[in-house]
Every structure is written in C-alpha cells, then in structure tokens.
Structure 1
Amino acid sequence: MNGVEGGEAENGEAAAVGLEELRKRMADFARERDWEQFHSPRNLLLALVGEVGELSEIFQWKGEVPKGLPGWDEAEKVHLGEELADVLLYLIRLSDMCGVDLGRAALRKLEINALKYPAGQCKGSSKKHTYYSSNSDVSGNGSGNGNGTNHLTSNKEHNNNNNSNNGV
C-alpha cells in the first residue's frame, strides 16, 4: 500500500491495499473493542459462512448475471461491495487466527491449480481437475495416478465430477 488513507491515490485512482494491511487493521479493530476473546477460529468461520450467505442472497433471484453487472443500479453495486468486503475481512481474520499466511497460501494454491489444470489440456473447459491426469500429486492427497502417464478418466468418472469445481 502506498500509505494513502481513504483508499484513493494522489491521481484519484483506487489505492492498492495489501492483505497484510487489512490483517493489521482487522487485528487493531478487534483489539480496540476487546473482541479478540470472541475471535476463535470456529466463531470466525461461522461468521464468514453467514456473510457468504448474505452475499449469495444478492444473487439469489437474479438468474445468470453478466460480467460488469449491467442493469444493476449504484446502490446494488455498493451493497455487493460491502458484502464482498465482509467476506474478505472475515477470511483474513480467520487466516490470521489460524496462523496461515493467506497471501502465501493463495500463491501456493495457484501453483497447485496450474498443475491440476494444464492450460494445454483444459483451455475453454470447465471440467473438474479429476478429468485430467497428473504425473505427480502436488497436493499430497494421493490423487495422482502414479504411473507417470497422462490419460483422461472415464466418461462415467467425468460425469460424476464435472461442474464448476475447477480452480479451487
């Protein structure tokens, strides 16, 4: 972060805010209110799930929403931003209370996903990672085929595992 308060840089554009800045501010916010006593991982997770529920309510009856949210008024977009922020802040606080460096964990997960979803095999596809073979099990959970060959799983397995689970 460039140290500009209020979220705006000198040129009028939004200032970049890092996870560490948000983590520190969340810790200070909780400390100033003596809320640390309530911030167990369990409580924070349940609060996070509640906020995800509030976020999902915004989309619940809108059907498929195009990128950029055309047709949404400014108040709806502001409300969406607030709910997204609630989710982010609880996630950051939860990771802090669990001793997880969220930035490093996210970068590691991107590396794992790059191996699970090779661009040359899955470009333009929403198939789950189990559809693609891997030469090694980068996640440590035994999901690699172990024989060093690339192959696609059966259509039956693909149909059981397909949908929007890619990338996570």
Structure 2
Amino acid sequence: MNNIDLTQAVEALIKFRSERDWSKFHTPKNLSMSIAIEASELMEHFQWKNEDEVNQYLSIPENLEKVKEEIADILSYLLLLSTDLKIDLNRTLLDKIQKNSEKYPVSKCKGKSAKYNEL
C-alpha cells in the first residue's frame, strides 16, 4: 500500500487560507463544526438509499464527483484543525488503532458489530 503524504495538500491549504486572511475564522470550534457540517452533506448523498441504489448512484460520474468534493471538504477542515493544534495525524491514528485493537480483540469481535462493552 502506498503511504499517504499530505504535506503538499496541507501547504496548499495553509497558503489558500493565508491569502484570504481566514485564519481568524478557523478556530478549533469552527473547524470542528465545519467537519460535522460537511460530513452531513456527505451523508445526504446516501440517505434513504439501499446498497444497490448507492452503487447505482455512485456509478454516475457527476455523483461520484460530488461525493469526492464532500470528502475533500471534510479532509481539508480536518487537516487545518490538526495542523493548528499541532497534532501528528499519522501517530494519532496509529495510537487509536492500537487502542481499538485492545478494546476489540479478534477473538471476541470477529464478524460482530457489538460495541466493546457488549462483547
């Protein structure tokens, strides 16, 4: 699997934001709210559709492009927030995967969707 290097994306986001003097609006509260708003917009593409309908919807290039744009919006705000808070996303994600592997051991949860305290 290829490593994801978002350095260029983060640099472009910071430049874009700086050129517009938007840092003053990008507080942790506002960025976290923006992530939630964009996630809701992403969910709208799938709302009320069963799996077949979702696959059909995504087979239309214009629809897939709209979904990609929502994902990019979410990622943009997440990258700005993590950069502003000096959070190493790679390390944070790897740490969380480790914690989840302890909470959800394969022997107890394989093939199950129950929460860790219900296993």
TM-score, with normalisation over the residues of structure 2?
Answer: 0.85
Distance in 1 of aligned mates of 2:97 and 2:12:
26
Q: 1:21 to 1:130 in 2, by over 3 A?
A: farther
Are residues 1:95 and 2:82 paired? yes
Partner residue in 1 for 2:23: 36
Distance 1:131 1:20, change over 3 A: farther
Ranges in structure 1 where 5+ consecutive residues have no aligned partner? 1-14, 133-168
Aligned twin of 2:51: 65
Larger Rg over CA atoms = 1
Secondary structure at 2:21 match in 1: coil
Q: Which residue of 2 aligns with 1:12?
A: none
Q: Matches of 1:17 and 1:117 in 2, distance apart? A: 26
Tell whether the 8 Å contact from 1:19 to 1:103 is kept in structure 2 after alignment: no
Specify which of 98, 116, 122 is matched with residue 103 of structure 2.
116
Do the aligned partners of 1:48 and 1:90 also contact (CA within 8 Å) in 2? yes
What is the identity percentage for the equivalent residue pairs of Structure 1 and Structure 2? 37
Higher relative contact order (CA 8 A, sep 6+): 2
Q: Counterparts of 2:7 and 2:93 in 1: how far apart (Å)?
A: 13
Letter in 2 for 1:44: L
Root-mean-square deviation (CA, aligned residues, Å) is 1.9
Q: How many pairs align? A: 115
Q: Distance in 2 between matches of 1:94 and 1:118?
A: 31
2:113 maps to which residue? 126
- Give the structure with the higher percent helix: 2
- 2:55 is matched by which residue type in structure 1? P
CA contact (8 A) 1:26 1:89 kept: yes
TM-score of the pair, normalised by structure 1: 0.62
